[in-house]
């Protein structure tokens, strides 16, 4: 990979957007490499969760508009689309943490919103400035508008104004804001908490929550029952209950 750094360490898939000279603007190569990395997170049994961040002073400023200006509609005709990426990322049932280190705009905001936990540097800024460029947005109306009150979403989408980290926290766009030089340690603290828990249980919880978004309550609880019965047959479930009875820390293996 040339535009995305991806490595697996201690059961965590670390994805770093790596075009710092372009503020991690997403061109076709980066989108394809990000797709491949997220696929590995989903398929690799050695990966229990993932962290996405950016190199340099931006998480990502979204589409590479310079590349886009020369392609027109061709930008949307590739085999892997922006829409595919968002949908697939949200359907990876392993926890995904966005560690937002700076500018997080447009498609960069979509990648962050498609993550499960968002930790932001106090230098982070969020924005969907597409209306200023005469182009449309996918993540703004399809994701932001379903996570914050609609009037605030419209304000940001219509004006293109940026939202600072503290305001993003107030609106629930991020889970927490930390001093910039503490972002890595704050992210690692959350990672370690998740690694102490049973990975199959976390996946089951996320599966029910995500799949249940489009279901009626009675269908959601039935789905939860099916998934939970499947989970109870795992080695990790037995280990968790046994460890509780024996008053010791469980050792989960993802089985």
Cα 20 to Cα 101: distance, rounded to the nearest angstrom: 12
Helices (H), the chain: 28-43, 65-69, 82-90, 107-113, 139-142, 150-159, 165-170, 183-195, 199-211, 217-232, 235-245
Category of 168 on φ-ψ map: left (φ > 0), alpha (ψ -120 to 50) or beta: alpha
Q: Residues spanned by CATH 3.90.226.10 within the chain?
A: 4-195
Residues 6+ apart with CB under 8 A from 120: 100, 104, 165, 168, 169, 174, 176, 177, 178, 183
What integer pLDDT is reported at residue 219 of this predicted model? 96
Neighbours of 176 (CB within 10 A): 13
Q: Residues spanned by CATH 1.10.12 within the chain?
A: 199-245
CB 59 within 8 A of CB 106: no
Cα 96 to Cα 190: distance, rounded to the nearest angstrom: 11
What integer pLDDT is reported at residue 65 of this predicted model? 86
- The three-class DSSP label of residue 44 is coil
Instruction: Report the DSSP beta bridge partners of residue 49.
Output: 12
Q: What is the pTM of this model?
A: 0.94
Helix-helix angle 217-232:199-211, to 10 degrees: 160
CB-hemisphere CA count at 13 Å for 230?
13
- Which of 91, 30, 33, 29 has the alpha carbon at shortest distance from 58? 30
Question: How far, in Å, are 50, 106, 238 from residue 151 at the CA level?
Answer: 32, 18, 47
User: Tokens 């994701």 correspond to what residue?
Assistant: 143
What integer pLDDT is reported at residue 71 of this predicted model? 57
Q: Say whether domain 4-195 belongs to CATH 3.40.50.720.
A: no
Cα 120 to Cα 164: distance, rounded to the nearest angstrom: 10
| pLDDT by position in tens, the chain (length 255) | 899 999 999 999 999 999 999 999 999 999 999 999 999 999 999 999 999 999 999 999 998 888 766 555 444 445 678 788 899 999 999 999 999 999 999 999 999 999 999 999 999 999 999 999 998 899 999 999 999 999 999 999 999 999 999 999 999 999 999 999 999 999 999 999 999 999 999 999 999 999 999 999 999 999 999 999 999 999 999 999 999 999 999 999 999
What integer pLDDT is reported at residue 41 of this predicted model? 98
CB 165 within 8 A of CB 122: yes
Q: Which CATH architecture has domain 199-245?
A: Orthogonal Bundle (1.10)
């Amino acid at each position: 990979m040339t535009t995305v750094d991806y490595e697996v360490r201690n059961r965590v898939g670390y994805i770093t957007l790596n075009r710092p000279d372009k503020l991690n603007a997403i061109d076709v190569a980066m989108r394809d490499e990000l797709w491949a990395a997220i696929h590995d997170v989903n398929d690799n049994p050695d990966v229990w969760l993932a962290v996405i961040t950016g190199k340099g002073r931006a998480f990502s400023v979204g589409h590479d508009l310079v590349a886009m200006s020369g392609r027109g509609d061709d930008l949307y005709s590739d085999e892997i689309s922006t829409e595919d990426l968002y949908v697939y990322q949200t359907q990876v049932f392993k926890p995904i943490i966005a560690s937002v280190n700076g500018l997080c705009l447009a498609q960069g905001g979509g990648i962050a919103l498609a993550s499960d936990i968002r930790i932001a540097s106090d230098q982070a800024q969020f924005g969907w400035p597409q209306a200023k460029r005469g182009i449309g947005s996918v993540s703004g109306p399809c994701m932001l508008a379903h996570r914050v009150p609609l009037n605030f979403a419209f304000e940001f989408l219509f004006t293109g104004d940026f939202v600072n980290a503290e305001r993003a926290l107030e609106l629930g766009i991020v889970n927490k804001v930390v001093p910039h030089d503490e972002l890595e340690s704050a992210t690692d603290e959350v990672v370690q908490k998740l690694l102490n828990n049973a990975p199959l249980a976390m996946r089951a919880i996320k599966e029910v929550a995500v799949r249940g978004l489009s279901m009626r309550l009675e269908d959601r609880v039935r789905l939860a029952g099916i998934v939970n019965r499947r989970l109870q047959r795992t080695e990790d479930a037995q280990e968790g209950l046994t460890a509780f009875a024996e008053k010791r820390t469980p050792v989960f293996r993802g089985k």
